[in-house]
Amino acid sequence: MSFTVPANLEAEIDELITHYPVKRSASLMLLHALQEHFGHISTEATVWIAKKLGLQPINVHELVTFYPMFRQQPAGKYVIKVCRTLSCALGGSHKLHEHFCTKLGLDPHAHGLQTTKDGKFSVEFVECLAGCGTAPVMMCNEDFHEGVSHAKADEILGKCK
Amino acid sequence: MKLSGLRGRGGAGFSCGLKWSFVDRRSGKPIYLICNADESEPGTFKDRQIIHKDPHQLIEGMIISCFANDVKLAYIYIRGEMPKGAKLLNAALKEARAKNFLGKNILGSGYDLEIHVHRGAGAYICGEETGLIESLEGKRPYPRIKPPYFPAVLGLYMCPTIVNNVETLCNVKHIVTMGGAEFAKLGTPNNTGTRIVSLSGQVKRPGYYEIEVGKATIGQLINDPAFGGGLLEGRKLKAVIPGGSSSKVLKAGEKFKLKRKVEGKDVEVETDMLDLPYDFDSLLQAGTMSGSSAIIVLDDTVDVVDVLANLSEFYAHESCGQCTPCREGSLWMSKTLHRLTHGEGRKGDADYLVKIADNIPGGKTICAFGEACSWPVQSFVAKFKDDFVAKGTADEEARPP
Ligand SMILES: Cc1cc2nc3c(=O)[nH]c(=O)nc-3n(C[C@H](O)[C@H](O)[C@H](O)COP(=O)(O)O)c2cc1C
Ligand code: SF4
Ligand code: FES
């Protein structure tokens, strides 16, 4: 498999690097850019970033393994993140997570990110999303949803094409 | 800034003017400013609102703060789970650049400043200022030990650095407009200005409310129709987490002796937890803190063991792992609470939890996360010990010998 970063994305990346007096600082922004494009961070992506920033691959790999938002395996086209933390738990987030899992044929008790067989959806619990006043809250890819009832959850799923 | 009395809104409530005065201006190195928009303390959701509703207020506050501290390059470190917020900020920065409020020779003043948005990637510890700096350097966000790594001297790229919360920097704009003395008239002595309170949990009207610091009590924030509007029908108050998940819990009905000035004399006034003025100093006197100004309300339908188990799972997940007492302690506490909430508890678990929690803080860890993860455990178990013991005992008795 060949790994190519499209020219326009590379131009964007080169611009990002100029934001910092020390190139290494751009690591997280580059990881975001590549994960958004490829869906996950492959070994090739890690090596590519390291080369771009004049680092050893381990300097980039240790970020991928530390920061929860980066993943080494592909996820579904739509990634659903349900907040697990206290205010949302009080507001029914565990029921909401279970609702998504049963609806999508996933195991509500499994740990970590789970993806449907057709690769369309992934569901995971995350920690407080800074929306505790409108619990329970969740994200579907970049979109943030508040006060998510089960009916609203179905609506969100329905809009995922 | 000193005249305004502004105290940091990120958690510690440290004097902003004093923080700025610590910055090493003679090192010859560049000075950096970082806006802490990592907002991840459970219960807190005010910075998100500021960024989404009025990004220019933050940018203006930052430009003024940078000018005052001779900063030429600044960053907004926004948590990774706020991609929309990052886009909004980038759009607002572009607008500011177009008007020459940023960039070279700002409005002909000869002053240059650039601000960039930097995204985190889902780790709570990036909110701790030295962890944040490491993260901004492109590394794992392992907090640095103080001394010697005080950001004011050895911060970003080992240069003098100011880290301030979003809301703190927004206040700077108003302080400059109003004048420090005028700003200090808002709020109460030593607790000046306004503050956004994030109210969540079991109240009728959760939400974010701006108050003059100390001009409303915890009880008013929960019960007043202008704020929380009271508990849900038929419920009774059980407890309040007053300043984000790390602050020590207040039990309904708890009384504290508050020092007050009455006719120029210091007197101690017995105060119910609901009558505590919501400010920095009163909550400190009650043995807790207003922290990130986030109140989580718990009514009598909750099981406090479940509540603490939920919070401990958060801390076990978020410990960065550098210090053994924090890494192991947070995990042990979470595991013990897991068994207590899954029918496998033991009578001695309450004492065991406190023993672990007591062994984490007190200079044994690099950063204040150690304290942050032990405070909820210490306070919940101390104040609701019967609930913890009863649960463990019931489990033990139900188990075949
Ligand atoms: C574990 C931990 C997490 C923190 N998280 C945040 C945060 O999410 N946002 C924030 O502004 N400050 C956070 N802080 C406080 C920062 O370290 C720092 O004190 C603050 O950003 C300083 O800004 P201020 O003086 O304007 O309050 C955290 C501190 C600790 C120990
Ligand atoms: S106290 Fe905990 S979070 Fe802070 S540096 Fe040590 S291990 Fe990391
Ligand atoms: S607890 Fe869910 S957003 Fe804060």
Q: Give CA–CA dist A76/A124, Å, rounded.
A: 11
Domain assignment present for residue A73? The answer is no
> Do A58 and A87 fall within a single domain?
no
**What is the predicted pLDDT for the residue at B264?**
84
Q: Same domain for A54 and A82?
A: no
Same domain, A49 and A18: yes
Final residue in a domain of this structure, among A66, A86, A117: A66
Considering only residues B203 and B399, tell me which one the structure prediction assigns the higher pLDDT: B203
Answer yes or no: do A90 and A154 share one domain.
yes
As assigned by CATH, the class of the B212-299 domain is alpha beta
Indicate whether A135 belongs to any domain.
yes
- Domain B304-398 of CATH type 1.20.1440.230: yes
pLDDT at B385 over 90: yes
Whether B296 and A134 lie within 8 Å, measured CB to CB? no
Task: Report whether B73 contacts B114 (CB < 8 A).
Answer: yes
Tell me the average pLDDT of chain B.
97
Tell me where in chain B the CATH 3.40.50.11540 domain(s) lie: 16-183
Residues framing ligand 2 (Cβ under 6 A): B 125, 143, 319-323, 326-327, 365-367, 369-370
Sheet with B114-119, edge to edge strand ranges: B114-119, B73-78, B32-37, B161-165
Residue B43 to residue B241: CA distance in whole angstroms: 9
| Terminal Cα distance for chain B, rounded | 66
Chain A contact probe: residue of B39, B139, B314 with most A CBs at under 10 A: B139
pLDDT at A135: 97
pLDDT for residue A73: 95
Whether pLDDT at B278 is above 90: yes
Provide the pLDDT confidence category of residue A2 given band limits of 50, 70 and 90.
Answer: confident
Per-residue pLDDT averaged across A46-52, rounded? Answer: 98
List pLDDT tens digits, range B234-270: 999 999 999 999 999 999 999 999 988 888 888 999 9
- Measured distance CA(B86)–CA(B120) in Å, rounded: 10
Indicate which ligand has the atom closest to the C-alpha of B327.
2
Instruction: For residues A112 and A147, state if they share a domain.
Output: yes
User: B76: nearest CA in chain A?
Assistant: A19
Name the band, by pLDDT with cuts 50, 70 and 90, for residue B208.
very high
For the stretch B344-364, pLDDT in tens is 999 999 999 999 999 999 999
Q: Which residue, among B202, B216, B294, has the nearest Cα to B252 in the 3D structure?
A: B202
Please check whether the domain covering B16-183 is classified as CATH 1.10.760.10: no
Q: Do A44 and A116 belong together in one domain? A: no
pLDDT for A1: 57
CA distance B333 to B376: 11
What residues does CATH 1.20.1440.230 cover in chain B?
Answer: 304-398
Strand ranges inside B30-113, DSSP E: 32-37, 73-78
Whole-number percent of chain B with pLDDT over 70: 100
- Rounded to the nearest angstrom, the distance between the alpha carbon of B329 and the centre of ligand 1 is 22
A85 & A134 share domain: yes
* Domain containing residue A97: 78-159
Tokens representing residue A20 in the block = 């910092």
The domain that holds A19 is classified in CATH as 1.10.10
Q: Does any CB of chain B come closer than 8 Å to the CB of residue A83?
A: no
Decide if B170 touches A, using CB distance below 8 A: no
Domain tally, chain A? 2
Residue B383: which of B230, B241, B257, B202 has the closest Cα?
B241
CA–CA separation, B39 vs B10, rounded Å?
A: 8
Strands B161-165 and B114-119: unpaired
| DSSP character string of B15-43 | BHHHHHHTS--SSSS--EEEEEE---STT
- A54 and A87 both lie in a single domain: no
Domain of residue A136, CATH code: 3.40.30.10
Strands (E) in B252-368, as ranges, are: 255-262, 265-272, 294-299
Write down the mean pLDDT value for chain A. Answer: 97
Q: Of A22, A90, A126, which is closest to B137 when you measure between CB atoms?
A: A22
Q: Does any domain span residue A71?
A: no
Mean pLDDT across B192-211: 98
pLDDT at B401: 77
Chain B contact for A133 (CB, 8 A cutoff): yes
Q: Assess whether A17 and A62 both reside in one domain.
A: yes
pLDDT in tens, A78-113: 999 999 999 999 999 999 999 999 999 999 999 999
Contacts (Cβ under 8 Å, ≥6 apart) of B390: none
Q: Is residue A42 included in any domain, yes or no?
A: yes
Q: In 3-state terms, what secondary structure has residue A79? A: strand
- pLDDT for position B400: 84
Has residue B228 got a pLDDT over 80?
Answer: yes
Average pLDDT over residues B103-111: 97
Quick one: angle between helices A27-38 and A43-53, nearest 10? Answer: 140
**Chain segment B305-333, per-residue pLDDT in tens:** 999 999 999 999 999 999 999 999 999 99
Does residue A59 belong to any structural domain of this protein? yes
